[in-house]
Amino acid sequence: MIEQVIGGTSQRLADLPDAGAILDATVLDGRVLILREQGLQRTMLADGSTDLMVRFDGTARSGFFVPGGREMAVFQVTVDNPQAEFGLETLVGLYRPAGDSAQVVLSLPQVEQALGTTADGQSLYLLPRGQDPSFGRLLLASLETGAVGAELPIEGEVFAVLSPDGRYLATTVPQGALNLYDLVSQPLTPRVFALPQSPSHAWGLLWSPDSRFLYFLLRPGGLYDEPASSYGLWRLEVDSGAISRFAAISEPEGFLAIDHDGRWLVWGSQDGTVRVWEAQTGRQVAQMSPFRVDVKTFSPDGQWLLLRHVQEDRAALVRLPEGTPESLPLPSAATVAGWR
């Protein structure tokens, strides 16, 4: 494990025992948590000590840390299980810094996607996933007991994103609309927002950190078309229901990211152009190229943006809002855990 100091040198923090391929990593309360094929590793930043906190019964094929956990890290992995549907089962686990403990709290014999936690952080929303891109229900599972307490009826295809406050679920539908569910209201009836430039569809949904805005790429045609261009970057204001164009871009695909405070919005297109806007005003503050990247992450204070070049052992560290990049070495196989 390596730590790179901005404007300084890198240093080795720890030698990690082999536990298979790294799936994801995050930093929490002076610790680095690492999801691996065999289990969950924890490394203390103070002394580099590393322990395998949870060992999986099968080999994990994929895994990630779930957004929204309070004073704990929630993780999901999909592991081999010949007895399960499609030969895979979903495990959900917790790591609690208080007590330095970890455990698997939920095991489901099918593929599920954890979307995030409820507003109180006590339960987890899970979306059943399979070969069909459509979905019709949302599971609500307790992080304390692991019990599935409710199945909520929803409608959507391809995209389903939970707001950071755990209140709203946005889904895309083929008929040129967005569905927005208020998960704390009953009955669970969606607000349906017709999209501009019909026929069109929303692609690549992203919430602002305060859950006030939903950003998306507006593309021509149906949800399963492959358009050559787009109508730009748009956003939905949740309270008013207003949909407006945020930025005039024409690329049909790329990545969209926002910093922790919702100050900077970043778009990266397939041709390697990266644009940075001030989210509140829509003012573009930086444009860089060529930057075809596979990792993008903001520092906690929003002053730095890290962009790793695709299939290259280097990255760009961009100071905001100036947009001035400086190069630093970063192996293409490295997993970026976070900042401190």
Return the minimum-mean-pLDDT range out of 38-47, 157-166, 326-335: 326-335
Question: Domain count of the chain?
Answer: 2
**DSSP assigned state of 340:** -
| Cβ count within 10 A of residue 140 | 16
For residue 221, being part of any structural domain is answered with no
Return the minimum-mean-pLDDT range out of 17-21, 84-88, 146-150: 84-88
CATH of residue 327's domain is 2.40.10
For residue 135, being part of any structural domain is answered with no
| Cβ count within 10 A of residue 133 | 14
Domain boundary among 79, 110, 141: 110
φ and ψ at residue 117, rounded to 5 degrees:
-100, 165
Domain boundary among 62, 93, 110: 110
Assigned token pair, 98 = 């208080």
Residue 85, pLDDT > 80, answer no
Q: Report the residue count for the chain.
A: 340
Q: How do strand 233-237 and strand 213-220 relate by DSSP bridges?
A: antiparallel
Q: What is the pLDDT of residue 225?
A: 92
Return the minimum-mean-pLDDT range out of 184-188, 201-205, 214-218: 184-188
Range of the domain at 264: 257-339
Give the Cα separation of 317 and 183 in Å (integer).
38
The owner of tokens 């690329």 is: 251
Beta-strand runs (E) in 163-212: 168-173, 177-182, 191-194, 200-207
pLDDT band of 280, cuts 50, 70, 90: very high
Domain boundary among 68, 92, 110: 110
To the nearest 10°, the Cα dihedral for 325, 271, 198, 156? Answer: -80
**334 or 171: whose pLDDT is higher?**
171
CATH of residue 62's domain is 2.120.10.80
